[in-house]
Amino acid sequence: MSNKVFLIQREALAPGQVCKVETSGCPLAVYNIDGEYFATSDVCTHATASLSEGEIVDVDLIACPVHDGQFHIPTGQAVGFPCTVDLRTYKVIVEADQIYADLDEESEAASSAI
């Protein structure tokens, strides 16, 4: 079963940027990494901060704005202390100029990282 929700127009998120999207009561961080789109939970698993207020570093890591813990955006894996619990990721669907997420499926990168 699919739970596809609209996130953002492609042109609204430039490469190297992250933004917060509230959908179905779920805050998501949406990322554009060199034209490829990703979606994770927007809430840091360590300090409950908004990751969309953080900074993308080393191409594909998001740094939490509170304690600078880091997560690998494509897989959601916690890779920088003090973060030790992985992020929830979501499958992203690109249709024409619109970006969607399936809230029932994790990202393909996270699925293959298991």
Among residues 31, 43, 40, 60, the alpha carbon closest in space to that of 106 is found at 40
User: Which pLDDT value is given to residue 25?
Assistant: 85
The span from the CA of 82 to the CA of 25, in Å, is 27
| Tens digits of residue pLDDT in 47-58 | 889 999 999 999
The span from the CA of 84 to the CA of 96, in Å, is 36
| Tens digits of residue pLDDT in 29-83 | 999 999 999 999 999 998 889 999 999 999 999 999 999 899 999 999 999 899 8
Residue-range domain boundaries for the chain: 4-108
Residues of the chain with pLDDT > 70, as a percent, come to 97
Check whether domain 4-108 has CATH 2.102.10.10, yes or no:
yes
0.85 exceeded by the pTM? yes
Reading the block at residue 97, the tokens are: 């100029």
